[in-house]
Amino acid sequence: MNEKYKPHFEWTLPNINAIRELKEFVNKSLSISTLLIKNANLSDSGEYVCTISVLNLFESSVKNIEVK
């Protein structure tokens, strides 16, 4: 994939101190970013936002997660 068109993923988390693991997979037709919160607790509850950008185009997905 041409670096110019390579997507960039950015995650916004409710708990910036969370121990997390990010995995990204990109090929010619598919781009995936996976976020794993290890040992999640109540402070990890809240709004999670994944934003992907390519060139000057941006798209975000927002999910509200509740840890019980």
Q: φ, ψ for residue 43 (rounded to 5)? A: -70, -10
On the question of pLDDT at 64 being above 70, the answer is: yes
**pLDDT digits over 34-44, tens only?**
999 999 999 99
Q: Around Cβ 47, how many Cβ atoms within 10 Å?
A: 11
Domains of the chain listed by start with CATH number = 3-65 (2.60.40.10)
Closest CA to 46 of 66, 16, 24: 66
Total-model pTM: 0.83
**Residue-level pLDDT at 1:** 61
Helices (H) and strands (E) in the chain, counts: 0, 5
Closest CA to 67 of 21, 27, 30, 13: 13
User: Of 29 and 33, which is predicted with more confidence?
Assistant: 33
